[in-house]
Amino acid sequence: GSADKTIRLWDVETGREIRRFVGHEAGVTCLALLDGHLLSGSADWTLRLWDVETATELRRFEGHTGPVLSIVAPDPHRVLSGSADKTIRLWDGATGKLLVRLEGHENGVRALVFSSDGKRLVSGSWDNTVRIWDVETGKQRLLLEGHTDPVYCVALSADGRRAASGGQDCTARLWDAETGKLLSTIQWTSYVNSVVFSPDGNLLAFGTCCVIGRKDDTIGLWDVRARKQILGIHADGLVSSVAFSPAGDRLATAGSDAVIRLWDVPTGKELLKFPAHLDDVRSVAFSPDGTRLATGSGDKTIRLWEVRTGRDIATLTGHSDVVYSVAFSPDGTRLASSSDDESVRLWDAATGKELRRIADRAGSVAAVAFSPDSKRLAYGSTDATVRVRDLEGAEILTLKGHTDSVYHVAFSPDGKLLASGGRNLSVHLWNAKTGIELLKLGGHERDVSSIVFFPDGKRVATGCHDPLVRVWDVETGQELLKLEADTVAVSPEGKRLAASRHGVIRVCDARTGKEFLSFRGRSGGINALAFSPNGLELASGHENTSALVWSLRPAGTAEKREPDTMWADLADDAAWHQAAWSFGALEKAPTFLRERLLAPAADEARFKALLAGLSDEAIEKRQTAEKALEESADHV
């Protein structure tokens, strides 16, 4: 976006101008993606939504009385803008209607962030203040003062108790988000551009600029409790974004060099380097053996990554538009992709070579899925149909019943059912052999964003931008569970759900919805989630061009915790799940358990059954198993 009032889209490789967006009456100040479209803010006081392919203006948000300085779109139906008119405005992204107006800042609003529950908003301003707001009422809850220059970035801890800010005064500041009290001031050598809390809230990471000709640290780590710096890391250029791993022992950073880096938190050592996609990541998929990750992006490419090292194995080119979906065949030999270029393509998963086009001129294809036997492909299109073809491209079935675009498709584990969902707000269940519609699941109020069957094939989880994730009984259509989220994945054993909203990923019990674990992703929305085949990693695809792989096992903590502590935690209703994972990651767990329990060899079968009971979902069964094992030890 430029002061010449235009937005220009460029080919990064050639430098050629692809498209020009004309309509603003003053300079363009900020840009953001909103559900695949382009959102722009301008000194002409307006926000505008554009069709990226045609450069046509789709919607205009009017009401500000000064230049728009900041935009954040946490989901397709909520847009927040900060302006030089000193106000923050919350808009309905679908209609452009003004929902709430937040007033109180005395200068332009530069930075915005939602709380994980979506009820509070933190803003940073040129008036050198940070403010915390009630989103529903638009009332200011707290005024945080201390910065001596404009504030550039803000963050909230996962529990909402701490806020952080950084800015032009070369400081990062830590606040009590409930009282507004200033807890710490961290002085740095350059402007602070980004701040983020670790998942447990004990660490604060921040990114700054590298001063030309100097080797100052550009990434800092601060101990929130001890209130002291514990690490400084140097990276060239401007560090624009930082994110912690769920265990808090790794830090991912992105900067002006378009490279994602992974750092070891205790030592500051660079572990991995990921060349970034040039547009948002729309889809992620693990290979069946869990060693590779495929990502599809708005930059028209597919990338294959080695999960263990983060190495970029191959870049698959050929699509001429956004890649919406990628899927590995269950036998691991093929990769399928679908795109806005109206094609479905089949690739050799080992070499990255394009094998054939399964479909062409099929309308914009948003979803693709393999059957469990790797012999069929299903895909959904903007022409409101679902088609099933063999791998040579011969059409087997055409399923009609949707009234609008189909965004997602999924086969059941036994291959007998096919589920599809999209813009008509419902999920359809089909007989995958005959094409007969068996069931229609209604209740969603927005586009269906994801569909995943459980391993037993008896339940299906659906995500939606309403924003609710729902779990359904496949035979009856009964709704079994409802979670506030918009993207969902099911773990391989079927006991856990991963769901995301407002950039926060939660891992929950698939039957009760009880949260086991939560962590915040990078800035921007999350388009896709996928569990690894062993259930110990979770991949996320983001609007900010990155794909991240999160470790779900407590690596870095299992060996540090005493086995006796983990043993006690197994009987704790709040701590048992983390303790079970800790034992799974502990090499000496079998030895510890046998020494602790002294189980007789003759009772080995019973011993194994009791050990399995320690990780049962029901606390009563875990307590019974522990008591029986303790008694076994006493009698030996």
Q: Is the pLDDT of residue 358 over 70?
A: yes
Q: Which residues contact 620 (CB under 8 A, 6 or more apart)?
A: none
Q: pTM for this structure?
A: 0.50
pLDDT tier for residue 309 given thresholds of 50, 70 and 90? low
Residue 213's pLDDT is what?
A: 44
Q: Which residues contact 267 (CB under 8 A, 6 or more apart)?
A: none
Cross-strand pairs, 60: 48
Q: Is the pLDDT of residue 17 over 70?
A: no
Q: Which residues contact 64 (CB under 8 A, 6 or more apart)?
A: 45, 46, 47, 81, 83, 85, 87, 89
Cross-strand pairs, 138: none
Which secondary-structure segment (H or E) carries 585? Answer: helix 576-585
Higher pLDDT, 139 or 16: 139
Average pLDDT over residues 148-162: 89
Residue 354's pLDDT is what?
A: 93
Q: Is the pLDDT of residue 394 over 50?
A: yes
Q: Is the pLDDT of residue 216 over 80?
A: no
**Residue 271 corresponds to which amino acid?**
L
**Which of these ranges, 293-297, 471-475, 582-586, has the smallest mean pLDDT?**
582-586
Residue 556's pLDDT is what?
A: 41
pLDDT in tens, 43-83: 899 999 998 888 899 999 999 988 888 887 766 678 889 99
Q: What angle do CA 616, 619, 625 make, to 5 degrees?
A: 65
CB atoms within 10 A of CB 595: 11
Q: Which residues contact 172 (CB under 8 A, 6 or more apart)?
A: 164, 165, 166, 185, 186, 188, 192, 195, 204, 206, 220, 222
Residue 225's pLDDT is what?
A: 84
Average pLDDT over residues 623-628: 68
Token reading at 392: 């040579």
**Which of these ranges, 46-50, 203-207, 211-215, 512-516, has the smallest mean pLDDT?**
211-215
Q: Which residues contact 29 (CB under 8 A, 6 or more apart)?
A: 1, 41, 42, 43, 67, 68, 69
Q: Is the pLDDT of residue 196 over 60?
A: yes
What is the secondary structure of 242-273 as a DSSP string? EEE-TTSSEEEEEETTSEEEEEETTT--EEEE
Percent of the chain with pLDDT over 70: 77
Distance CA 205, CA 108 (A): 25
pLDDT tier for residue 470 given thresholds of 50, 70 and 90? very high
Q: Is the pLDDT of residue 254 over 80?
A: no
pLDDT tier for residue 218 given thresholds of 50, 70 and 90? confident
DSSP 371: -
Contact in structure between 25 and 48 (CB atoms under 8 Å) = no
Residue 31's pLDDT is what?
A: 81
12-26, 251-265, 462-476 — most confident range: 462-476
Residue 620's pLDDT is what?
A: 63
pLDDT tier for residue 191 given thresholds of 50, 70 and 90? confident
pLDDT in tens, 550-599: 878 654 433 344 566 666 666 655 445 455 545 544 555 666 666 665 54
Closest C-alpha among 134, 150, 75, 124 to residue 445: 75
Distance CA 205, CA 250 (A): 11
Q: Is the pLDDT of residue 144 over 90?
A: yes
**Which of these ranges, 112-116, 369-373, 429-433, has the smallest mean pLDDT?**
112-116
Three-state DSSP class for residue 432? coil
Residue 543's pLDDT is what?
A: 74
CB atoms within 10 A of CB 21: 23
Higher pLDDT, 629 or 372: 372
Residue 4's pLDDT is what?
A: 67
The most distant pair of C-alpha atoms in the chain lies apart, rounded to whole Å, by 85
Angstrom CA distances, 132 to 86, 241, 579, stand at 14, 22, 36
**Residue 433 corresponds to which amino acid?**
K
Token reading at 421: 């969902």
Distance CA 186, CA 208 (A): 12
Closest C-alpha among 298, 277, 406 to residue 53: 298
Contact in structure between 154 and 175 (CB atoms under 8 Å) = no
All domains in the chain, ordered by first residue? 104-274 (2.130.10.10), 350-551 (2.130.10.10), 563-635 (no CATH)
pLDDT tier for residue 473 given thresholds of 50, 70 and 90? very high
Q: What angle do CA 116, 120, 121 make, to 5 degrees?
A: 100
| Preceding peptide of 467 cis, ω within 30° | yes
Angstrom CA distances, 17 to 31, 278, 298, 489, stand at 18, 16, 17, 38
268-282, 591-605, 614-628 — most confident range: 268-282
Residue pointed to by tokens 């008591």: 627
Cross-strand pairs, 9: 19
Higher pLDDT, 619 or 200: 200
Q: Is the pLDDT of residue 15 over 50?
A: no
Q: Is the pLDDT of residue 412 over 70?
A: yes
pLDDT tier for residue 466 given thresholds of 50, 70 and 90? confident
For 309, list phi and psi in degrees, rounded to 5: -110, -15
Q: Are strands 365-370 and 354-359 parallel, antiparallel or unpaired?
A: unpaired
Average pLDDT over residues 212-225: 69
Residue 594's pLDDT is what?
A: 62
Tell me the chain's radius of gyration from C-alpha atoms.
25
Average pLDDT over residues 459-471: 88
For 622, list phi and psi in degrees, rounded to 5: -65, -40
Which secondary-structure segment (H or E) carries 6? Answer: strand 6-10
